Structure 1
Amino acid sequence: MIQKIKKPIVFIPLALLLMLGGLAFQVKNDKLFALAKNIDIFATLIRELDSYYVDEIDPDQLVTIGINAMLEELDPYTEYIPEEESDDFRVLTTGEYAGIGALIGNRGEGNMILMPYTGFPAQSSGLKIADYILKIDSVDVVGKPTSEVSELLKGPANTPLKVVVKRDQDTLSFSLIRKKITLKNVPFYGKIDEKTGYIKLSDFTTNASVEVRNALLALKSQGAESLILDLRDNPGGLLNEAVEIVNLFIPKGKEVVKTIGKLQNVNYTYKTTKTPVDKEIPLVVLINERSASAAEIVAGALQDYDRAVLVGRKSFGKGLVQTTIPLTYNAQAKITTAKYYIPSGRCIQAIDYAQTRENGAVTTVPDSLRKAFKTANGRTVLDGAGIEPDEKVEEVTYAPISYTLVAGNHVFDFATQYFYKHPAISNPMTFAISDQDYEDFKKFLVGKDYDYTTYTEKSVKDLEKYVEKEPYFEEIKSQLEAIKTKVNHSKESDLETYKPEIKKILSEEIVSRYYFQEGMIEAGLDEDPAVELAKSYLNNPSKITQTLTASVK
C-alpha cells in the first residue's frame, strides 16, 4: 500500500509577499536605471568628443565601432546591421540580389570572374572564368577594390550594362541585362551510380526545402533507390527550411526542434506538418566540422529518429537561434534569443559563451559533463559538442606542395591555359588529365615561385631551435646540418611523389572551366572517402539496419 503524505500548509504573511514583490520591482527598476544611465553617458561622450577632440571624428563610424565592440562580448552571432549593410544581410538570408550572377575576386593582376553561375546573365552572355574585368559601362575598374567592382555589377533588375574584359590576349566586350539572382541552395544533384542519388545542399536560404524536394523527386523518377544528402561545409540558415527538409523523410506530426529562451515568445516546438515524400528510402547524411546550425538540426533530427546513417566528422556545434530585431533609422540587430533542442532532447551547442566572457578563454563542455540521450531505437547520443557521425571519416590532407600550387594560383592559371587550348572535355565524373598534360604542367611551373616547407623540414627546424639553447649544441651541430641536408626537399621529386594528388586537383579545376560549379562538385565526388563509405552502407541494407538499431555506439 502506498500512503500519501499530507504536506503542511504554509501561510505567507501579506507583508512578506508585498516585500518580495517590492524587491522584484526594485531590481527591475535598478536595471532600467542602469541602462538609461549608461546610454546617456555614451551619448554625452560622443557629443563631447565631437566638440573637443583635436581631429574631426566620424560619429557614425565611432558609434558602430562601439556597438560592435560591445556585441563581441556576447557571442559571434549577435550582430549589428546598419542601414547601409541591410542589402548584404538580405542576400545572406534570402540568397537573392539583382546583378549578373557571378562570383568575382582578385587573383593578383586584378578583379576577374571566378565563377559564373549557370543560367544567369554572366554565364549566358559568354563570360568565362579568369576573364579580367577592365571596364563596367564607362567606369575603368582596373585597380579598384573587389567590393567596388561588385557594387558596379549589381543594380536594379532588368537594367543594362556593358562589361569589358581581357581574356588571354584578347579584349572583349559583353552587353548584359541585370536579373534577379537567386543563389541555389542545391548547386548539384544527380545519380552517382545506377541506384544511388546524391544531393548537395550548400545553404538554408529561402526555398532550400523546395529545392531538396524537387531534387529528391527527380532522382526517384530517374530510378534512384537510395540517397546521399551532403551537408558538408553547410553553414546553416533559416530554421523553418531545416524543419521542412526533415519532413521530407519523416512522418507528419513529429517534433523536429524546440527553441527555448528567456522570453516566452521565443519558446516554440517545430513539428512536421506534411506527408513525407519518402519515409523508407535508405538515407546517408554527410557532415563535417563546417556543418552548422540548420545543417545540424537536419542531421541531428534524422539521427535521433534513426532515419539516416551519419557519415563524416563531428559537426560545428552551433545550437543557438538568432532573431532579427528592427532598430531605428532602418538598422537591425541579429540577436541570439534561444537555444535549440533536437528530438532526443539534446542541445548541441559546443561553446559556453557565458563562461567564456567570465574567464576570457573559449570554454567548451568537457566530455565528463556531456549528458547522454537516446534515439528512437535506444542508441546513445551525447549533447554539448555538435553532432557526432555514426561512422567517422578522417579528413583528407594534402601535401605542402599541393597547398602551395593552389595558393600561388598555379593550378588556377594552368587550368585557364588548358581551357584556351581545348574546346571540350569529357563529362566531369570521368575527366582526368593525361600524363602528357601533367608533363606540360611541370614545364608551365619552370621559373615560377612555389617554394614551401615540408613537414619533416619544419620538425628539424623546430628541433634545431630547441637545442640551440642546450650546452651540447656545438657537439651535435654538424649532425643536425647533415640531417637538414638529407631532408631538404626537391620540388621536382615532390611533383612525382604527389603526382596522383596534384593531377586530381588540376582535373577538378579544369572541369570548372567547362561545367562551372556543378561540374566541380561532381568531379570532386570521384574517390571521395565519405561518398565511398556512404555507398558501402547503401549497398548493404543489413549494415544500415545494424547501425541504426545498435543499443550502444
Structure 2
Amino acid sequence: MKLSNKIIISILALGLIGLVSFQIKKNDRYFEIIKNLDVFTTLYKELNTYYVDEINPTDIMETGIEAMLESLDPYTNFIPEDRIEDYRIMSTGQYAGIGTTMGKIENRHVVMMIFEGSPAETSGLKIGDELLEINSNPIEDYSIDEINKLLKGQIGTTVDLEIKRKGIKKPLKFTVSRESINIESVPYYGLIAEDIAYIRLTEFSSGAGSSVRSALVELKGKGAKKVILDLRGNPGGLLNESIEVSNVFIPKGLEVVSTKGKIEEWNKTYTANKNPVDVNIPLAVLISNNSASASEIVAGVMQDYDRGILVGQRSFGKGLVQATRPLSYNSQLKITTAKYYIPSGRCIQAIDYSHRNEDGSIGKIPDSLKSEFKTQAGRVVYDGGGVSPDYDVVNKGYAPITIQLMKKGFIFDFATEYYYEHEDMKPDPKVFSISDELYSEFTNWVSVKDYSYTTATEETIKELRETADSDKYFDFLEKEISALEKEIQEHKKEDLKVFQAEIKKALKEEIISRYHKRQGMIESSFENDEEVDEAIKLLNDKDSYRNLLQAAK
C-alpha cells in the first residue's frame, strides 16, 4: 500500500473515531438531561405525596426554576403568564393604565409622579395623593406591584379610586379611564446654554432613536452648535434603538455593535443604516454607574469612533444579549444568548457580574484581567467591565441625612404641603430656588419628626467596638471609642446645616415636580449638576475637547 493511501485511511479513521466520540458525548449529554429530569419529577411526586403540609404546585415549581436560573447570569429569567404584561411594558415602554408612578412612604400608598397628558392628570389626580381604595377595595395591605396591576387593564375600561388629599378631610373619589400610556424615552430636551443642546434619554424603549433624532434637529434649528446626551441611570432596553441613537451621530454604514453566542447563525453585526443628523457637532455623553446595556453600546460607540467625549463614572458593565423563548401555558424564558462587542472589539460585560458594590457599580478590576483595545484615533481603551469615561467626575451621592429625609418621605411631604399653600404659583424651574427662609421653615417642620439614621462611620465604630471586645482590647480603648461616638452624635446635630446645599437641591426638585412634573424636575436639577457643568466647560473649551479625543503621544 502506498504511503499516501495509508495517510488517507489514517485521516478517515481519525475522523470516524472523532465522529463516534462526538456522538457518544452527545448521547451522554442527552442521557444526563433525561436522567436528571426523571430525578426531578420523582422527587416532586414524593414531596407532593408525603410532605407534612400541603404544597402549592405553582409556588414550589417557580422556586425551583428561579433557583436553577439564579446559578446563571442575573438576566436569564422565567416570566410566568401573570408577569408577561409587566415584561411587555418594560421592553416597549407602553401599557394600558392611568399614567401614575406609585410608591410607598411608611404605610401610605402615594402617587409619586403623574405623566403629562395622562388620564390621571386630566382626571385631576395629583402628586402626593394617598390611595385608599381601588374599585371599593381597601388597599392598605397591598404591595405596590399588586396596586399597579389593579390600575392597569384594557384600554377604554375605567377604575374607581378613593384618595386622601392634603388639607381635605373627606376622601375624594375619582373614576379614571385606562388608556394606552407611552412612557417618553426623552422626557426633556432644550438649550441649557447659549448654543448647547441637552437631551435626556431615560430608556431605550420603542421610538427612542427617532425621539433623539427629532430633538437634535429641533435644537439645531434653535441655534445649538454643541450637544450633551445624558445617559446617566439609563438601564438600557431595545438593541435596535441603541443602533438608531448611535446613527444620529455617526455616518451611515459604520458598524455599531456585533453579537456572538453559542448559536452561530444568530451571530450578527449591526450597522448604522440611516443618514445621520450631524457627524461633526461636538458631543458630550454623560454616563454613570447605572448606565447599562444599550446605554453602554451608544457610549462605547461614540468613544470607539472618537465621536464624542464621555463624562461621569464608569458604566454598569452589562454586555449580555437576551432573547425571549416561548414556553408552555403562555409563559416565557428570557435567556442570555450572546455578548455585545462594540467597534473596537471589546466586550462591555463585567468579568464578574455576581459581585458588585451596593450602588450596582463594579469594583476595581485588576489590570491583569483587562485587555487593551484602541479607538479609531489610536486611544487606548480597555474591556473588563463597562465603559470608562474620558473625563472622570466623582459622584459623591447624598449624605446619610438627606437619604433618610427622602426615605422617610419628609422632603416629599413638605413639597406637597408647600404646593397646596402656594397652589396658584407657577415657579420657573430655571430660576426657582430654596431661600434661607424657606429652608429654615423646613428645618423647623422636620425638627419634630423622627429621622434618626446611622452613618457608615457609626457602623465602622460599632464593628471596632465588637472587634476590640473579642480581642480583649476593649478595656484599653473604651474611652477613645466612646469619645468618638459622642463626637459623631454632636456633629450629626449640625447635619441639617452642614448638608443644606444638597437638601435644598432635593427640596427644589420635589417642589418643582408638583407644578411641572418630570420635565420640571430635570430642568431644575441643572443648577447643581456637576457632570453637566463639567460637560459644558469641556464643550466650550475647544483645546480640552480636542485633546481628550486624541491618542497620547
How high is the TM-score relative to the length of structure 2?
0.92
Q: Percent identity?
A: 47
Does the Cα contact within 8 Å between 1:286 and 1:312 map onto a contact in 2?
yes
Distance in 1 (alpha carbons) for counterparts of 2:345 and 2:217: 31
Amino acid of the residue matched to residue 551 of structure 2? A
Amino acid of the residue matched to residue 217 of structure 2? L
Aligned to 2:299: 299
In structure 2, the CA distance between the partners of 1:10 and 1:414, relative to structure 1 (3 Å rule), is farther
Secondary structure, aligned partner of 1:525? helix
Q: Out of 30, 37, 40, which is 2:38 matched to?
A: 40
How high is the TM-score relative to the length of structure 1?
0.92
Secondary structure, aligned partner of 1:441? helix
Q: Render the CA deviation track for 1:358-400: whole Å, top value 9, x for unaligned.
A: xxxx999632131111111111111112100001000133332
Q: Render the CA deviation track for 1:441-499: whole Å, top value 9, x for unaligned.
A: 12212321112345655555444444445666445544544454444225553222222
**Greater alpha carbon shift after TM alignment, 458-467 vs 423-432:** 458-467
**Greater alpha carbon shift after TM alignment, 139-148 vs 209-218:** 139-148
Distance in 2 (alpha carbons) for counterparts of 1:123 and 1:205: 23
Aligned to 1:86: 84
Matches within 5 A, 1:444-483: 444-454=445-455, 457-458=458-459, 460-469=461-470, 473-474=474-475, 477-483=478-484
Secondary structure, aligned partner of 1:252? coil
Matches within 5 A, 1:201-212: 201-212=201-212
Are 1:240 and 2:240 counterparts?
yes
Aligned to 2:359: none
Distance in 2 (alpha carbons) for counterparts of 1:472 and 1:96: 61
Are 1:415 and 2:412 counterparts?
no
Distance in 2 (alpha carbons) for counterparts of 1:328 and 1:284: 46
Amino acid of the residue matched to residue 342 of structure 1? I
In structure 2, the CA distance between the partners of 1:475 and 1:293, relative to structure 1 (3 Å rule), is closer
Does the Cα contact within 8 Å between 2:204 and 2:241 map onto a contact in 1?
yes
Are 1:283 and 2:283 counterparts?
yes
Amino acid of the residue matched to residue 391 of structure 1? Y
Aligned to 2:339: 339
Q: Render the CA deviation track for 1:52-110: whole Å, top value 9, x for unaligned.
A: 32322122221111111111111101111111211111111111110101001221242
Does the Cα contact within 8 Å between 2:81 and 2:331 map onto a contact in 1?
yes
Secondary structure, aligned partner of 1:507? helix
Matches within 5 A, 1:93-492: 93-170=91-168, 171-352=171-352, 366-423=366-423, 424-454=425-455, 457-458=458-459, 460-469=461-470, 473-474=474-475, 477-489=478-490, 492=493
Distance in 2 (alpha carbons) for counterparts of 1:164 and 1:484: 47
Q: Give 1:200 shift.
A: 0.9
Which runs of 4 or more aligned residues in structure 1 lie more than 6 Å from their structure 2 counterparts after TM superposition?
A: 353-356
Aligned to 1:516: 517
Distance in 2 (alpha carbons) for counterparts of 1:326 and 1:53: 32
Secondary structure, aligned partner of 1:176? strand
Does the Cα contact within 8 Å between 1:312 and 1:393 map onto a contact in 2?
yes
Does the Cα contact within 8 Å between 2:326 and 2:333 map onto a contact in 1?
yes
Aligned to 1:549: 550
Distance in 1 (alpha carbons) for counterparts of 2:128 and 2:148: 16
Aligned to 1:70: 68
Q: Give 1:425 shift.
A: 3.9
Q: Give 1:167 shift.
A: 0.5
**Greater alpha carbon shift after TM alignment, 460-469 vs 265-274:** 460-469
In structure 2, the CA distance between the partners of 1:169 and 1:271, relative to structure 1 (3 Å rule), is same
Size of the alignment, in residue pairs?
Answer: 539
Distance in 1 (alpha carbons) for counterparts of 2:328 and 2:212: 37
Distance in 2 (alpha carbons) for counterparts of 1:64 and 1:485: 50
Distance in 2 (alpha carbons) for counterparts of 1:153 and 1:293: 30
Secondary structure, aligned partner of 2:42? helix
Query: Gapped runs of 5+ residues in structure 1?
Result: 1-8, 357-361
Distance in 2 (alpha carbons) for counterparts of 1:420 and 1:241: 41
Query: Gapped runs of 5+ residues in structure 2?
Result: 1-5, 357-361
Distance in 1 (alpha carbons) for counterparts of 2:12 and 2:474: 82
In structure 2, the CA distance between the partners of 1:163 and 1:371, relative to structure 1 (3 Å rule), is same
**Greater alpha carbon shift after TM alignment, 375-384 vs 131-140:** 131-140
Amino acid of the residue matched to residue 450 of structure 1? Y
Does the Cα contact within 8 Å between 1:131 and 1:165 map onto a contact in 2?
yes
Q: Give 1:10 shift.
A: 5.7
Secondary structure, aligned partner of 1:189? strand
In structure 2, the CA distance between the partners of 1:465 and 1:176, relative to structure 1 (3 Å rule), is same
The alignment yields a C-alpha RMSD, in angstroms, of 2.3
Distance in 1 (alpha carbons) for counterparts of 2:366 and 2:53: 50
Aligned to 1:540: 541
Q: Render the CA deviation track for 1:138-189: whole Å, top value 9, x for unaligned.
A: 3333443323322221111111233221101322222321101111111111
